[in-house]
Amino acid sequence: MTDYPRVTGTDRDDDLLSLEEAAMPRRRLMIGMAECLWQAVLVGNPAPVVRRMSERMQHPVPGDLVTAQHYVKQDGYEVHALGILLARRREHYGTDEERAAEGAEWGDAALDSRGERPAQETWYVQYGPAAGDVCRWENVSFIMVPSERGEFDVPIGTRTPSGGVSLTRGDLLSGLADSGFRLRLPEGPG
């Protein structure tokens, strides 16, 4: 018995995670674009919108499209390096069976003397369209890949019953400040 239940994905009927040879250029494109965007948001003193983008990309949640960072790119890297994040958790090194075998070989006292059982961060990513196309990653980090238009937008304005949008002065100022404009207080008595 292992410490954690097996993580499985879901069968997908779209082609986002296609493993067909014809899909590999698109997968490489998505990985490359995500890496470029990630580099672009790593700036000093970022505008609020850039800070929001960076935070969101750094902290993907289950269900996000993600790509692995800081790994050795080899032939076929695009197959496992892009997928849907299923789970992210801390897991103990080795299985319960391996730990029991160590205890039998070295003695339970030797295991207990090492203190708390070491753990590592693990990521489970569905890289293909089948529920079983799941890869377990360790010693790597992932970034969220924006997969929808307006992923980082903050709504400005209020929809009117006629289908238009009503903007206030505050909406405009917030939008400008969010984009990095430095706003000054109005001059006047004071």
Q: Are residues 65 and 158 in the same domain?
A: no
SS3 58: helix
Look up the pTM and report it: 0.73
Cα-based distances in Å from 174 to 53, 167, 168, 170, 171: 17, 11, 10, 6, 5
Q: Are residues 130 and 58 in the same domain?
A: yes
What's the rounded mean pLDDT across residues 110-137?
82
Helix (H), strand (E), coil (C) string for 90-152: EEECCCHHHHHHHHHHHCHHHHHHCCCCCEEEEEEEECCCCCCCEEEEECCEEEECCCCCCCC
Q: Are residues 72 and 129 in the same domain?
A: yes
In a domain, 16, yes or no: no
Which pLDDT tens digit goes with each residue over 63-105? Answer: 999 999 876 666 667 788 899 999 999 887 766 677 677 667 7
In a domain, 2, yes or no: no
The boundaries of the domain holding residue 184 are 154-190
SS3 165: strand
Decide which of 4 and 160 is more confident.
160
What pLDDT does 42 receive?
93
Which pLDDT tens digit goes with each residue over 131-147? Answer: 999 999 988 899 999 98
What pLDDT does 47 receive?
82
In a domain, 3, yes or no: no
Q: Are residues 55 and 128 in the same domain?
A: yes
